[in-house]
Structure 1
């Protein structure tokens, strides 16, 4: 696929979406947002894709929103700015996710594949928000992550006030939002903002190894259902979540992937999951 501000590549079941404005530390624009959405939807629809990696070109992940592109707003409908177009597009393709997962950035959980944020450098403002809405965050030891909103006279944007406490706890979330100070990768790992930190020199290889494990060794059907369960269960009681899990477990027992999961384990060979 040809894009102007991102690169989209698929190799060995891994779709890599690279924010590609390295001279601007991959600062986001409205065009980049549309291209990211389009690439996510394409990866979600592609049976050959089992996992998605979101990363940045050059030395940055994303330095926030490029304020010089605000002039584009004059040519944008309000729907494009508040996320309605994003939500409609995802909903049309993947059914009807919870309405909270249809916003400008909060649609990431509606994509039926695992999304890994490979934070290779600064992830600030909207860059942090995009990383937070990914399913798993892997960071280079050179990464910096921050929410500078209060220093700019702004508030917690795009649902991060809902999401961040769920990731790092209420006190850590308020500390990050109040002080507007970025944290390094080590501190981000300590508070649970990222799952793993790797040396910068090995970062790309480590991300490929992690994504490759999901692509090769895990049932794509199980990943899809598990992701849907986790996000939907944020709005369910324990009893509701348990009942649905029991129903999904019964369905899983009748699948090709379950049979393959047992067979490859007993035969001590590489799994050959089909997603069915």
Structure 2
């Protein structure tokens, strides 16, 4: 969503093999304003995933919010995905707009860490759940706000929630629309850790570097196995694992790592 003097909807910073992607609508709390913004987010992440130099993605928000989800003003003004006179047009806008994100994130090979710097509401909460790992600032808040507006999660929340937490906790969030703080999010497994706001990016980047230091092909294939394993029988998963392992054994990165590991072991004194 560029041009006409507008800032890009997404900012990208590179730190070695780590790409930090920042949603850049701070004045709208990083809400998704229209299809053009969604397209820019999707195109940016898709391009980074194809870059073999990128070993880990970090997704965060610019300003005080991670993402407010849908833009309420845009909904009221009729400039969002909603066409009140043509429900079929609204359905197609969802399919071609916001719904491309969960499908994209499910297909990504590169690991993605969400650094949740503030409120993650509605579609913003779902966006965080699309990521592989979530680290939250103490200022983070989460809510499935759709029901408060008489709506459902149009971007896959009903699929994401019970895969992130228990079914009962998923139902409680979805049915009530309640806002929970970072501590409660940690209790139910929505995030894996909570840190002071001034340490959020430091902690996130530290984890990203621990991921990025490993051979990229092995990490990417491991992610695919974990994603696929949620919906596969063990015999099918083992077959895919064997195929991926065969590929891994024939990469230069594996050979280099194998030699280095053997040399480390060989240097250890024997008793």
TM-score, L = length of structure 2:
0.84
Which is greater in Rg?
A: 2
Partner of residue 97, structure 1: none
Map residues 1-276 of structure 1 onto 2, 5 A cutoff: 4-30=8-34, 31-70=36-75, 71-73=78-80, 81-84=93-96, 103-215=100-212, 217-268=213-264
1:75 offset after TM fit, Å? 11
Number of residue equivalences: 252
Worse-superposed segment, 59-68 or 104-113 = 104-113
Q: Classify 1:37/1:262 alpha carbon distance in 2 versus 1 (closer, same or farther; 3 Å).
A: same
Give distance in 1, aligned partners of 2:117 and 2:132.
16
Gaps of 5+ in 1: 87-101, 270-276
TM-score, L = length of structure 1:
0.83
Partner of residue 268, structure 2: none
Give distance in 2, aligned partners of 1:74 and 1:230.
33
CA contact (8 A) 1:109 1:135 kept: no
Q: Deviations over 1:194-232 (max 9, x none)?
A: 1121111111111111112212x2221012111222222
Misfit runs of 4+, over 6 Å: 74-80
Give distance in 2, aligned partners of 1:122 and 1:243.
41
Gaps of 5+ in 2: 84-88, 266-271
**RMSD over aligned Cα atoms:** 2.4
Q: Deviations over 1:37-64 (max 9, x none)?
A: 0110110121221111110011110011
CA contact (8 A) 1:55 1:118 kept: yes
